[in-house]
Chains A and B, each alone.
Chain A
Amino acid sequence: MTAGARIGRSRPPGDGGPAAAGLPTNDDAPMPLAEGRPGLARFAFAAVAFVYVGCLFVQVFLVGLDIFANADASIHREFAYVYGWLTPLLVLLAGFAQAPKPTRQLTIVLVVLFAIQIVLPSLKDAVPVLAALHPVNALAIFGVAMLIAGQAIDLLRPLPTEPTAKA
């Protein structure tokens, strides 16, 4: 089962669907796109989600350079502020793209995880155990970002044909 099948897909307005057929509706399904709208927001959502995942790879590579090649640690820190603004942007784009509720919730979770991520290293002296969770939280951010990217791609795919209800 694809993520798209799990989260549901939008359908053009007025083509029936489960509600019209008297079948149970999926509250998690994305809202249908307005007539004539090219889905630019969905394309932007997918593009930004993938750029975000790419930035995470770069960010982790910068950590590797710091540890193994004695690069300046501030590059890693500064880069977080370079791509960090993409996190709230994903929340906005998920809304504009009329993404299903679980996807929109994931973007909010990403904002929360990112905010925690920024704070964790500063706890190094006060609560070192929490600071040690910085790379673990990075895994969580990566996992959530990958899920969002996958679901954003699913939003770009054409709709599956719905079975028509018999009268």
Chain B
Amino acid sequence: MSAWRLTFAVAAAAYVGGIVIQVLLAGAGLFEMTDFDMHIGLGWALGSAPILLIPLAIVARAGRGTILLTVVLTLDAMVQPELALARHDSPVIAALHPVNALILFWLALLVARRAIMLASEGARRSAPAATATPGPTVTGFH
């Protein structure tokens, strides 16, 4: 159970890291360090990656709010590459691509924060149990 929570926390934190790298790649493209190929490639991966967070949130028993937030994150992540693709038909809609990136970043932070709190809560609960086990005779005096 706590292993799933730890996995969920690590995956959620990694997703936030992925967004930061993605934005750095966008910056590298904008300031003509590289082309946008890496940004586009990673973008497709990040667009579908949060789907993996949903089952992780469920098996980690993250709670309805966190699972719902993960679903919203997944849907928003799926929209993100589509916004960029709208550049030819509707450039103004495509201009929402970086705006949605901010929303995506914030949602990912919220999910990661909740997942880390969940994992640390599980660790805190298991810690007293582990320390209490060596002394059953001592606890018997109380």
The answer on A and B forming one complex is: yes
- Interface residue? A160 (CB, 8 A): no
**Residues in B neighbouring A121, C-beta threshold 8 A:** 31
Q: Would you give the shortest CB distance from A69 to chain B, in whole angstroms?
A: 4
Take A128-B31, A132-B28, A134-B31 as given contacts and tell me if A139 and B98 are in contact as well, using a CB distance cutoff of 8 Å. Answer: no
Chain A interface size band reads 20 to 34
- Interface residue? A133 (CB, 8 A): yes
**Residue-wise interface mask of B (67-105) relative to A, using a CB-CB cutoff of 8 A (1 in contact, 0 not):** 000000000000000001001000110111111011001
Give Cα A57–Cα B98 distance, bound, in whole angstroms.
Answer: 9
Q: Would you give the shortest CB distance from B37 to chain A, in whole angstroms?
A: 15
CB-contact partner of A68 in B19, B31, B33, B91, under 8 A: B91
Give Cα A70–Cα B92 distance, bound, in whole angstroms.
Answer: 10
**Residues in A neighbouring B109, C-beta threshold 8 A:** 143
Tell me the nearest residue of chain A to B36, going by C-beta. A67
Chain B interface size band reads 20 to 34
**Residue-wise interface mask of A (47-66) relative to B, using a CB-CB cutoff of 8 A (1 in contact, 0 not):** 00000000011001101110
Tell me the nearest residue of chain A to B26, going by C-beta. A135
Take A128-B32, A128-B33 as given contacts and tell me if A142 and B26 are in contact as well, using a CB distance cutoff of 8 Å. Answer: no
Tell me the nearest residue of chain B to A140, going by C-beta. B20
**Inter-subunit contact A57/B102 (CB<8 Å):** yes
Q: Would you give the shortest CB distance from A134 to chain B, in whole angstroms?
A: 5
Give Cα A64–Cα B24 distance, bound, in whole angstroms.
Answer: 16
**Residues in B neighbouring A142, C-beta threshold 8 A:** 102, 105-106
**Inter-subunit contact A60/B106 (CB<8 Å):** no
Give Cα A57–Cα B96 distance, bound, in whole angstroms.
Answer: 9
Give Cα A134–Cα B138 distance, bound, in whole angstroms.
Answer: 59
**Residue-wise interface mask of A (21-39) relative to B, using a CB-CB cutoff of 8 A (1 in contact, 0 not):** 0000000000000000000
CB-contact partner of B94 in A56, A64, A131, A143, under 8 A: A64
- Interface residue? B55 (CB, 8 A): no
- Interface residue? B63 (CB, 8 A): no
**Inter-subunit contact A68/B87 (CB<8 Å):** yes
Give Cα A132–Cα B96 distance, bound, in whole angstroms.
Answer: 20
- Interface residue? A77 (CB, 8 A): no
Q: Would you give the shortest CB distance from A140 to chain B, in whole angstroms?
A: 9
**Residues in A neighbouring B105, C-beta threshold 8 A:** 139, 142-143
CB-contact partner of A129 in B32, B33, B101, under 8 A: B33
**Residues in B neighbouring A135, C-beta threshold 8 A:** 23-24, 26-27, 30, 98
CB-contact partner of A139 in B20, B28, B33, B95, under 8 A: B20
Give Cα A64–Cα B92 distance, bound, in whole angstroms.
Answer: 8
Beyond A60-B102, A139-B19, 9 additional pairs, beta carbon < 8 A? A60-B101, A68-B91, A68-B97, A69-B92, A71-B95, A131-B31, A131-B33, A132-B24, A132-B27
A-B contact pairs, 17 of them (CB 8 A): A65-B92, A68-B91, A68-B94, A69-B92, A128-B31, A128-B33, A132-B30, A132-B31, A133-B27, A135-B24, A136-B23, A136-B24, A139-B23, A139-B102, A139-B105, A142-B106, A143-B105
